Chain A
């Protein structure tokens, strides 16, 4: 039939139609198969392989969910990460997910997508998150960011067990063995015993390396000691509680006594000074995550073999462990919030958390105490079990602590970063002021933080 004949014109017309239909439908097919792109700004890990595991986990999750995950690693050196967060918050553009250091989730709470659903599901699986993480991550009744594994650290004691045994008669390995139990004498591991040991080690020429300057290591351990004495400078409403505070006075007096047995330059120490103090073999004790031991293992193995981590001493009101967490937050201006939440949940799961912690040689701390039993903390060495007591395990009876909590975060962050607690001690021990003068100064400074 002439009407059904395939003419050259008809062939071209039909062919063009097929090509057009194919071309138009192709992106749709593609879009249905992917969840788009997720841009993530992770913390640039001290341990270089720490970045690799984040990349690997993101790739696995991306392949499974057909989402392209772009990972950037932002260093905290020179506060580059803080500047990035401030710039993205101001411009309302940037990454979908960003790693937020300790105080940043509350500072940018209004720009962060609530993640109660993610945290809720994780808590159902792994138990409650530490109250210290909740204090930093929850604002106006909602979780603003998920407590991260990568980058989160504790600062328990890192001890030269040989020196402490030799000069202070304390066998820390026996006291805190690499087992889920307290050894003999562990109940006497308190700040009084610590002061006695500090004095003896100082007399022996291997003083404890405790920073007293304006960096986080100093503020954190002094904050933990204050809490152990029940001493606070601010209450939960932000009121200054310095005046007529016998517990605070007791903690200050203790620290003034202790500071006499420290190296005379601790007032200028930064966060690396105590690491060097331990690695070089000049001191008997510091408060630090295992990074100092890891560097000693590489640079000074004879020292590394004699290091043992133990919980921080307890005070009259309990044992409080210095805690410096990172958070993973999703900007409210992110275009891919559901995918971002899914990725954060995946990264927080036990298997992902264990891979992060193992890759960082035990440095990274998950936010759940139920995850304090990862194998890496038993196997790392030499000596084997050196970091067994690094995480806050149930038998240690410790509680994570953030200096200047429970004051409202926007006031506490100012006191924390301006190191009001260590400066009080410095004004007395180094500046020659009386306790009353130094506390009066602290009171005036703290009052101004709450103004405006």
Chain B
């Protein structure tokens, strides 16, 4: 066995005279790796690749799914006012929520990092609760707090004389509400990722900077952030994908209303495809996410690769 723990190829002398080329092929490390990865490839093929191509096929059909209309569904969507609103809302929702999650996660991670190790576990566990709870369940709790007529938040506001806020009835408040719940659910993920990154920054760097007279802000700007850049990028990309495809929060809180002003791609696709019985157009709505996410992924991953090359 090699020093890194991997099996090395057997010396030719050790191969018995009866071993044929097929057996040698089967013993090669790349073959074994491929065979071991096969179950995963099958899962990805069955649950990702096949549904993607099936959705592509569906999006080319007409409403009754008996005729191919090529890119007709995409053309109709781009001609629909509500769909343009859905595109902008999805971008505002995803970018706004991810930035807030990243900021809150970063602050929380810093606070946690400076808590002594003994008490840190307790806080870490508590702060992770919103993330580990099933979102549909926690969103129901938020819905109860935002309920149009019986909002508990409004009840608290009324105690201090503040008038009731139509959390879900007024479009801007409704948009704020769905972003708030998404940030509440997702910020702990950023926190835990950033905390792991912070712990990997060598203390000697901060000590050296302190000797040179660097302030806390300078330490953050010139040591912490550069050391965390890759993890920040990857986390933002991952979260952007998940936030873009969000469904449950909007579905439970607003059902896309009022006046479609909180619809995202996934909720609008469900409304058009399943509820309104136009599966091909619903598939076309959901596929619109793909090029948008591809653009985001391209820029973020290009930066990560560039930095990696610079460090090598």
Residues of A within 8 A of B (CB): 79, 82-83, 86, 103-104, 107, 213-215, 263-270, 273, 276-277, 280, 282, 410, 413-414, 416-418, 423, 426-427, 430-431, 441, 444-445, 448, 451-452
Contacts and interface: CB of A to CB of B under 8 A. Distances in A.
A104 B72 CA distance: 24
Contacts of B218: none
Contacts of A83: 274
B67 to A, nearest CB: 9
Nearest to A283: B149
Contacts of A426: 258-259
A445 B81 contact: yes
Given A82-B274, A452-B72, A265 B169 contact: yes
A82 B279 CA distance: 12
A264 B170 CA distance: 9
Interface in B238-273: 254-260, 270-272
B80 A445 contact: yes
Given A213-B255, A418-B260, 9 more contacts: A86-B274, A103-B277, A104-B277, A267-B170, A270-B255, A273-B149, A277-B149, A280-B150, A452-B73
Interface in B139-188: 148-150, 166, 168-170, 174
Task: Decide if the interface of chain A is mainly helix, strand, loop or mixed.
Answer: helix
Given A265-B166, A444-B81, A445-B81, A107 B277 contact: yes
B69 interface: yes
A274 B237 CA distance: 42
Nearest to B258: A267
Contact of A418 (B63, B76, B271): B271
Contacts of B254: 268
A264 B254 CA distance: 16
Contacts of A277: 149
A49 B80 CA distance: 45
A268 B174 contact: yes
7 contacts: A83-B274, A273-B149, A416-B276, A423-B259, A426-B259, A444-B80, A452-B63
A410 to B, nearest CB: 6
B64 interface: yes
Nearest to A444: B81
B275 A417 contact: yes
Contact of B148 (A273, A445, A451, A452): A273
Interface in B65-111: 69, 72-73, 76, 79-82
Given A430-B258, A431-B259, A441-B81, A452 B274 contact: no
A430 B150 CA distance: 21
A413 B276 contact: yes
A357 B5 CA distance: 72
Contacts of A267: 169-170, 257-259
A107 B64 CA distance: 8
Contacts of A273: 148-149
Contacts of B138: none
Contacts of B169: 264-268
B62 interface: yes
Nearest to B79: A448
A274 to B, nearest CB: 10
Contact of A430 (B259, B275, B278): B259
A94 B46 CA distance: 21
Given A265-B166, A267-B257, A268-B174, A79 B274 contact: yes
Given A265-B148, A269-B148, A441-B81, A452 B168 contact: no
Contacts of B69: 452
